[in-house]
Amino acid sequence: MNPIIMPQLSGVYKTYQGSVIVKIGIPKEIKSNENRVALVPSGAAVLAADGHTVIVETGAGLGSGFSDAEYQAAGAQIAGDAEAVWAAGELIVKVKEPVEPEWKRIRPVQTIFTYFHFAASEKLTRAHLASGAFCIAYETVELPTRELPLLTPMSEVAGRMAVQEGAKYLEKIYGGRGVLLAGVPGVAPGKVVILGGGTVGVNAAKIAAGMGTQVILLDVSVQRLRHLGDILPANVQLLISNRHNVLRHIANADLVIGAVLIPGAAAPRLILREDLKVMRPGAVIVDVAVDQGGCVETIHPTTHDNPVFVVDGIVHYGVANMPGGVPLTSTLALTNATLSYVQQLANRGIAAALRESPALLNGLNIGAGKVTHRKVAEAFGLDYSPAESVID
Q: Which residue numbers are catalytic?
A: 117, 291
Distance CA 43, CA 46 (A): 5
Report H helices in 68-176. 68-73, 82-88, 100-103, 122-131, 152-169
Q: Are 2 and 369 in contact (CB under 8 A)?
A: yes
Q: Are 142 and 263 in contact (CB under 8 A)?
A: yes
Distance CA 94, CA 114 (A): 5
Q: Are 312 and 299 in contact (CB under 8 A)?
A: no
Query: Quick one: angle between helices 327-348 and 41-49, nearest 10?
Result: 10
Distance CA 9, CA 361 (A): 14
Residue 380 CB partners (closer than 8 Å, separation 6+):
122, 125, 126
Dihedral sign (CA 31, 36, 39, 41):
positive
Closest to 113 (Cα-Cα) out of 84, 144, 130, 90: 90
Distance CA 13, CA 9 (A): 8
H or E element that contains 77: strand 77-79
Residue 186 CB partners (closer than 8 Å, separation 6+):
none
Closest to 216 (Cα-Cα) out of 253, 267, 270: 253
Distance CA 388, CA 392 (A): 6
- Cα dist from 315 to 171, 281, 348, 367, whole Å: 11, 9, 48, 39
Q: Are 166 and 257 in contact (CB under 8 A)?
A: yes
